[in-house]
Each structure stands twice: as structure tokens, then as C-alpha cells.
Amino acid sequence: MPETPNSGVLHVTDDRTGRTYDIPIEDGAIRAINLRQIKVSPDDFGLLSYDPAFLNTASCRSTITYIDGDKGILRYRGYPIEELADHASFLQVAFLILNGELPDKAELEAWTEQVTHHTFVHENIKKFIDGFHYDAHPMGILVSTVAALSTFYRESKGIFDQDKRKLQIVRLIAKMPTIAAFAYRHATGLPYAYPDNELSYAGNFLSMMKKTTEWSYRPDPVLEHALDVLFILHADHEQNCSANAMRAVGSSHADPYMSTAAAAAALYGPLHGGANEQVLNMLQDIGSIDNIPDYIARVKKGELLLMGFGHRVYKNFDPRAKIIKKVADDVFKVTGRNPLLDIALELERIALEDEYFVSRKLYPNVDFYSGIIYQAMGFPVEMFPMLFAIGRTAGWLAQWEEGILDAEQKIARPRQLYVGEWLRHLPSDASSFGDR
């Protein structure tokens, strides 16, 4: 735990009134609601804190993921990400994130069995996916299909019934790879490949993506392991944009399919999980090392973002990016080196020396190298955000469950600072409305 005292009292003087207030500090934070007592008159609403994009607002107490952005630390339930990536499987990590402890042998067997046996989707899901245009973005298909699951599992509305809740969690973890693979199959015009219960979580996903005429697909163990590690690295990241969407939608007591669809929609954006796709597009646009200086110059002029760089929380390095670089080496031994890697390495070298990036603490994030690995593994670029979503589903569900069971949580409903017209009246002559 941090060594500095993180509780006490904040003494505040309001120079509008000269009054002083004692505001308790708890866990290094003040409760924004305690500002409400600070008023200039009895009918004043009270002081609000203004924090667009939640730059300095804790929206919950959580026991799931710890990040120290300055030190480049990421831990799930207290375990360093490096140790989990080296020694655990994705299903172990998903269990840990969802339940707070790593599974023992019997728990792991039962969990694996449950997830494996829920990988199939209702046959109508195939018809639903068939309805999408051939060039639909797979994330659009994923978001819509996850929402559609809500109509298949009506009992999912019973979110405060533990058994029902746990069943939907298993279903979502199990079906996410199936939906992602089916979306890909639809886009490429290939027949859907059903789940193979003999394979691991990552292996089954590879099978559903790649299987053609063979009776059973056997994934390359190096690629299967690499994908499993990538799922671990993406499994949770505390209160990011999509987790926040999950919690916000969940706070209205929507069912977990609807909440997960909202989270996946938030992930889709290019500033979040869509960045891995954009990194690849950027590297392809740059095309050769010779073009990098021009590209960097345009970034510095504010014309473009260097995709895969920067993070709201990490201001030193992203520990996931370090692990991914190691994974990339293993993958390239099997697939051959992705030629875009040279451009990526040179971009990273320049950016880490350049004053623009150094002064803004912009470092490669998880998305910078993951796309290069996915491409080497043969995934189409548009699939990349879905690969992120598969791993992150465990985190979303843990965040959702923690939120709805937290006695302090209520429906998410921020305040605003109203800066619009104060009061206006319609003209008395109604016929003049059309003059504008």
C-alpha cells in the first residue's frame, strides 16, 4: 500500500463568503458531494466539481485492477501482469479477475468445462449475422450480435440472482470468440466453423477462424500461446472508456449483454481499442522508413496522431507493450518477420528521442505492437479490435458485477454546467416561427 498518509482533513476557505469548511480525505480522495455544502446563499445549489473526461475523478472503489501510470505497473487482483503473462493461462486470469482468486485445480477444471460447453451460439445467430452486408465492419457485427444475445436469454434480466448472473458471465466469455470468428467468416464468405471443444480457449478461436476442409484443426502451439498471452494483456484495465461504458449502462440495471454491447461499442473507437487497427493502417500509409520524418513532422504540426502512442494513465511506459514485444519475437519465428516491424521500430526510436513526444510523455501503448503480431498471424486488420474485445470481456464483466453489487453505486448520472441561453419566450405571433 502507498506509504504517504492518504486520509485526513482538507481545510477549505471560500473567498466568496469567507467561510471555512473541513472536508474529510479518505483513501486519498474527497467526496465530491461534500463540496455541495459550500454555498454563497441558502438557495445556491452548492459547489460542483467540473471534470470533463474524468481526468481526476474516481468513479468507484474497485478491487480488480491496479495501475501506477508513472511506474508502469499493472496488476490484476494484486498479481503483476508480467507474472500472469509468463505463468498463467487466459482462462485462469479470467477466473482471477472475475472471482478475486486464482482457481485451484478443481475450480479450473470446472470453469474450463463451463466455458467450453457454452461456446456454441443459437443457430438463429448465424441467420442474424447473415443479414449484414458483406463488407460490414466486424466490430459492428460483434456489437449488434452481443446485444442480440439479450433476446435469446431473457432470464439475464435477473441481474441480482447470483446463479443467473454467473451463467450469463460464462456465456459471454464463451461466446465472444465464436461471434468474432463468425463475423470474420461472414465477411470473407467462408462457411461458419463451429467451436471445437477439444481445443483451448485460444486454440478454439484459431480453429473457428482458420479451419477449412480438415476434420479437426490443430493450431500452432506458439501462435496459440501468443494469442492466449494477448488475451491476458487485454483482460482488464480498470476504469477505461469501455469499462466506464459497461458500468454506466449496467448502473441502469440493463442486462449484461446490453451492457457488454455498450462496452464493445466504446472500445471500437480509434482512440481506444480501435487504435490497433489504426496503427496498421498508419504503418501501411507510411510505407517505408524514408517517409517517417515527414510523418513525424505532420504529427508535430497537429495534423495527425501517432496511433499506438500515448495513454491517459501510463506516463512512463505501458508494461503491456513491453510484454508484447517479447511475444512478437516468438510469433515472427513461426510466421516470418512482419516487414512493417522495421517501420514501427524506427517510429518508436524517433518518438522516444524527440522532444515533442518526450515532453508529453508519449510512449508506445498496448496497441502499437499488437496489430503487427495479429497481422503476422493472418488476422485481417478489421478484426483487430475484436481480438481486444475477446480478452477484455472478462474485465468488463468483473467491472459490471462489482458495480451492481456495490452498495454505494446508483444510476450513473453526472451533473453539468449549463452554459446555454437562460430563458427565452416564443414570439406571441406563432406564424412568425417560420421566419428563421
Rule CB under 6 A: which residues touch ligand CMC? 240, 271-273, 275, 299, 305-312, 360, 362, 365-367
**Catalytic (active site) residue 253:** no
Contacts of range 418-426, beta carbons closer than 8 Å, 24 or more positions apart: none
Residue nearest to ligand CMC (CB): 310
Residue 299 · residue 306 · CB < 8 Å? yes
Map grid coordinates 452486408 to a residue.
133
Q: Name which of 103 and 310 has its Cβ closer to ligand CMC.
A: 310
Residue 279 · residue 285 · CB < 8 Å? no
Q: Name which of 103 and 391 has its Cβ closer to ligand CMC.
A: 391
Residue 336 · residue 284 · CB < 8 Å? no
Residue 293, number of CB atoms within 10 A of its CB: 11
221-233 helix and 366-376 helix, angle to the nearest 10 degrees: 160
Q: Name which of 227 and 267 has its Cβ closer to ligand CMC.
A: 267
**Catalytic (active site) residue 429:** no
Residue 329: Cβ-neighbour burial (10 angstroms; 0-12, 13-18, 19+): exposed
Choosing from 272, 294, 318, 435, the catalytic residue is 272
| Closest separation in Å from C-beta 388 to ligand CMC | 7
Q: Name which of 133 and 298 has its Cβ closer to ligand CMC.
A: 298
The CA-atom distances, in angstroms, between 335 and each of 148, 317, 328, 329, 332 are 36, 27, 10, 10, 5
Choosing from 196, 228, 236, 367, the catalytic residue is 367
Q: Name which of 210 and 392 has its Cβ closer to ligand CMC.
A: 392
- Among 236, 319, 273, 360, which Cα is nearest to 68's? 319
The CA-atom distances, in angstroms, between 11 and each of 7, 16, 20, 22 are 13, 15, 7, 5
Q: What share of residues in the chain are helix, strand, coil (percent, to 5)? A: 55, 5, 40
- Among 270, 283, 255, which Cα is nearest to 137's? 270
Choosing from 122, 311, 318, 425, the catalytic residue is 311
Q: Name which of 182 and 309 has its Cβ closer to ligand CMC.
A: 309
Q: Name which of 169 and 299 has its Cβ closer to ligand CMC.
A: 299
- Among 170, 147, 199, which Cα is nearest to 98's? 170
- Among 295, 261, 264, 293, which Cα is nearest to 281's? 295
Q: Count CA within 13 A, CB hemisphere, residue 35.
A: 9
| Closest separation in Å from C-beta 135 to ligand CMC | 24
Q: What angle do CA 54, 409, 417 make, to 5 degrees?
A: 40
What length is written for the chain?
Answer: 436
The set of catalytic residues is 272, 311, 367
